[in-house]
Every structure is written in C-alpha cells, then in structure tokens.
Amino acid sequence: MRLNHYLFALLFLTLAACKQKPAFSGYSIQKSIVADSAIVSTAHPLASEVGLQVLKDGGNAIDAAVAVQLALAVVYPVAGNIGGGGFLVYRSGDGQDVAALDFREKAPAKAHRDMYLDAEGNVIEGKSIEGHLAAGVPGSVEGCWQMYQKYSQLKDWKRLVQPAIDLAEKGFRITESEANGLNEYKRGFIKNNTKACVFVKKDTSEIWKTGELLVQTELAETLKRIRDQGRDGFYRGKTADLVAAEMQRGGGWITAQDMTDYHAVWRKPMLGKYRGYDLISMPPPSSGGIALFQLLGMVEHHSFAKSGFHSPAHIHLFTEAERRVYADRAKHLGDADFYSVPVASLVDSQYIQQRFANFDPNKATPSSGIEGGEFTGKESKQTTHYSIVDAEGNAVAITTTLNAGYGALTVVGGAGFLLNNEMDDFSAKPGVPNLYGAIGGDANAIVPGKRPLSSMTPTIVTKDGKLFMVVGTPGGTTIITSVFQVITNVIDFDMDMTAATHAKRFHSQWLPDELYLEKGATNEATRKKLQSMGHKVVEWSGIGQVESILVRKDGKLEGAADIRAKDDAVMGY
Ligand code: DON
C-alpha cells in the first residue's frame, strides 16, 4: 500500500540513524530543555542555533522564524525549503494579536483537474509525486517576507537571510541521517534532474558519508538574491527565470508569471476550546485546525484519562473519533478560496456531538459504514515543524514542507533549490488515495491557482489568556492525530512537555480502515483487546516528529524535540 510504502521511506532517515556507525560528533543535540526566557525547537541543530542567535541579538520570534526557515532550506534539504510552502500560526506575547499566514503552494495556471490521469481516466502512478509536474508554485519565501514585514522587531532582513547564505556557501557537515537520506534518494535525484545536482556526487558510485561538507553554491546565490531584493529576488528576475527554464527543460508547467503572481494570504486563525483551554490553529487550506477541534470536541465528554494512558478504552475512543473526522475531511475539505468549505458547521459543537452519537465504547465501527457528515443549508513525505517562543512571550508555530522527502526530487538548475511535490496533496481522482492514503473529491480537485488540502496543524494553546503550549509536527495525515495526542497527553494525562512529545503514538484515518500503533505503544493484551473490539491493528515504527514548547506553572519554558528523529534539537536561554 502506498501509505505504508511512503512511511517506510520516511522512516528510513530515522531508522538509519540508529544503525551501528557512531553519530557525527560535531553537533550537540538536546531533546529537552528548561529555559527562563526563550526556546527554539527545530529539526536541525544548526537551524536551532541560527534561531537562538537571532533571539539573543534582539530579534523576536518572527525574526527567528525567518532565519530558521531559510537555514533549514540549507541544512535540512529533506524538508526545509524555499521551494515548498507552509503555515504560520502566531500569537503575540500580550495575546492581543493572533494570526495565521498561509504560504501554501498553488497549482500553476496551466494545471487542470485531470492532469494526472491517463486516456482511460486512471491515475498515472508517480506523476504527481516525482519530477517537474509534481510541483506547485512555491510559497515559503513569500511567507518569510510577509511575516517579516508585519512583525519583525529587528527590521534587518539581510541579517536574517545571511546565516543561510553562510551555511550554503561555506558548507556544513552533514549528519548521519542526512547522509543516509541523500544516498537513499540518489536514484530519484539522477532520474528527475535536467542538470547535475548538488545532492549527487560527480562520481555517482560514491556515497555520502557522515560529517562530509555539503557546499551549495547555487543555492547561496539564490539566497543572496533573496537577501538583496526581498521576495522579488525569488519571484521575479533571475530566480523566476531559472524556474521557468527548468520547467521547460523538464516538461513542467510553472511559468515566470506563476511565480510573479504568487501571494501568501493572512487568514483568520481557527479558534477553539478544550476543557477550559483556548486553541489557535490553521484554517483551510489546511484540514488541521478543523480536524483537531472536531477530535477534541468528540472526546471532551469522555473521561478517558481514568482508564489509563494507551488503555484499550483510550485508544478505541480516539480511533472512533478519528474515523469520523477523516471521513469529513475527505468529503468537505479543500481550499476555501475555491470551494465552499462548511467550516462553522464542521466545528459546531452540536454537530460534533451528533456525529459521535453512535460511538460504541465496546465495538469498532467499520469505516465502510461511515461517510462524511451531511449539512442542511449552506453556510454564510517530508515536512518539518518548528516552535519558537521569545523573551516577550511571542509564540510561533510553523509547519513547512516539500511534501515527500526531498519533494519532487527535482532541483531548479542554476538556482540550487528543491521543488516540492505538493500537487500530490490534491485529489488526482475522486476516491484514489494520495501518498498518505488520504482520499478526496470535488472539494480538493485541482484548479489553477488553488492550494492543495493540507494536514499541517501548527497550533498554539493558551490558558486564562496566557500562553500555554506551542506544538506541531510533520507526518502527512498523521500530523493531526499526533498534535491531538500531544495536547491531550499534557491536558488529560498530566505529562510534561518532554514526556508528552516523546510518548508513543497511534493513528487512524477512516480509510484505510486500520489502526496504526507505534512500536511499543501498547502491550500484547491491549493489542488483543483492540482486535477483539474489531480494530485492524497494524504496527508502525514511528509516527510524527513533534517540536513543542510549554509554559510551566513556575513560569519557566520547557521545550522538547522529538526523539524519533536523531537531529531534532531544542535550544534556549
Ligand atoms: O500538507 C500536508 O499535509 C503534507 N504535504 C505534509 C507532508 C508531510 O508531513 C510529510 N512528512 N512527514
């Protein structure tokens, strides 16, 4: 199954990191920290360091985020990016300002609904996943530019871009996980590039080794154009022309005009409640905020904590909620700029109760018996997340992605950056699963300029008007359920941030009708009990890669970086 196949590839980096060879000893990596003032938690120690230095130099959380995003594009090419997109959820320290920025990729003007189908109307395997046609118009640079314009405290764009330029130009030592990732994807890089690509050695039989220097000269030049010209250094002029030329060579459809036309959008964040806590999360084109609030709404009236963490009752309750929520996701969710998404109806508490009314505490409901809810009347494989809190309490949750690991495996010749394969997040054909096994229909059909539906769920939680938690993760459709579990781990199971982040997880998504248990998440008796209730239990080796921050009762900050990926590092002061 494609979902499993993808997760296998995704987990490769993590698992490979656990093999015999000693880790590259050059980076010190902390998985948990308690700090007085500020925390940065990202997927790479060099990116966390860049962000921390910005904060120490007087920048705020947004300044740090811009520098982190660009640094990740250099040191974490598997998911960090300027050729992809993402979402920001922001809350100012005084709580007066909450914001959501959508810098998700857009379908190019030439795109159309059936672009991945053959003459018989069948989805052409791989066409939306590898190579030029898989890419949407990238949004990350515009995202950085917009958040900088609105919230920067340093007001020194060049200062924020420079660390990424230095890392690209002088090079940096790659970790064991990165070396393994680059080696693993060598075939794909060779197949999908029209020019020699920096991620493949000149002698293609040579492999990457831990601690080797990776220099990205062309990427450094692109970053310099961004440093000197701001967003126009990417969306106009040389970089846009290089993208268009790459597309012509490789048969892709993004034009220089598509680049110029790209715009990020400030959206009204989703605001929700759970057991007296307030939540701020991402609205469409992410399904994250809606799905998270539906899940929390469904379990809120059940006292699952008393049955025990990862007890059959806990896992069963969550799985049954997930089944219903993902059915709604498949039917109703897409880019609300193009499709009328019934946002308010979906998160309406009465609807949520009614949707969960047939929950049976003793028995799994077959997914075949569940469909997306009905409403009467109309309504008026790789990603990365970073969480930052600065000394003023400003909080940033950003999830950003190329989609799969190294995106479309296609580098823009002469510009040195990887293109996303976000087009696969659209529904190529109703009912045909994407990379994450998610299906969709009209709501998420391809339309020029439309943004593909996402699961990314950058989320901020507050309590009594004060910052409480910042959380998010990669993981495709497992993003929503991972964020759901981390939040309930803290609120219901009273875990600290580190325990809540590192705890084993499970996932279910309506279709396929399976319950995925992370290895070690339960004992044999619990697995058997779940099976006897009717769940098709499947073991998975890793779910999510959460970076999180909690404000403790004593006012200190606790930050956590996931242990599932070796390089994730949290820093603070
Ligand atoms: O936007 C989405 O939902 C996906 N493109 C995210 C991909 C992802 O998380 C892959 N990472 N593990």
Query: What DSSP string describes 517-554?
Result: EETTSS-HHHHHHHHHTT--EEEES-----EEEEE-TT
Query: How remote is the CA of residue 544 from the centroid of ligand 1, in Å?
Result: 10
Look up residue 456 and give its amino acid. Answer: M
Q: Judge whether 274 and 352 are in contact, CB under 8 Å.
A: no
Strands 515-518 vs 537-540: parallel, antiparallel or unpaired:
parallel
Residue 15 has pLDDT above 60, yes or no: no
Annotated catalytic residue, options 175, 239, 255, 383:
383
| 70 pLDDT above the threshold of 70 | yes
Q: 426 C-alpha vs ligand 1 centroid, how far in Å? A: 12
- DSSP symbol at 367: G
Q: For all residues of the chain together, what is the average pLDDT?
A: 94
Q: Which two tokens stand for residue 385?
A: 């997340």
Burial class of residue 496 (count of CB atoms within 10 Å of its CB; 0-12, 13-18, 19+): middle
Ligand 1 close to Cβ of residue 456 (< 6 A)? yes
Q: How many residues does the chain have?
A: 573
Would the pLDDT of 344 be above 70? Answer: yes
Are 134 and 108 contacting, i.e. CB atoms less than 8 angstroms apart? no
Is the pLDDT score of 6 beyond 70? no
Provide the β-strand partners of residue 286: 454
Single-letter amino acid, residue 442? D
User: What is the C-alpha separation between 141 and 264, in angstroms, rounded?
Assistant: 9
**Which of 415, 416, 418, 67 minimizes the C-alpha distance to 237?**
415
Question: What's the pLDDT score for residue 375?
Answer: 73
User: What is the model's pLDDT at position 24?
Assistant: 55
383 counts as catalytic: yes
**With 80 as the cut, is the pLDDT of residue 2 above it?**
no
CA distances from 353 to 56, 191, 296, 349, 375 (A): 47, 50, 11, 6, 14
Å from CA of 405 to ligand 1 middle: 9
pLDDT at 376: 57
Q: Which of 292, 436, 477, 480 to mutate to test the pocket of ligand 1 (most atoms within 8 A of CB)?
A: 436
Atom 2 (ligand 1) nearest CA: 454
- Looking at per-residue pLDDT, the higher value among 372 and 497 belongs to 497
Are 534 and 545 in contact by the 8 Å Cβ rule? The answer is no
Q: How high is the pLDDT of residue 382? A: 84
Instruction: Assess whether the C-beta atom of 533 lies below 6 angstroms from ligand 1.
Output: no
The answer on pLDDT for 19 being more than 50 is no
What are the Cα distances from residue 119, in Å, to 114, 249, 362, 425, 439?
10, 24, 47, 22, 21
DSSP 498: H
Tokens of 531: 């099976």
> What pLDDT was estimated at residue 381?
63
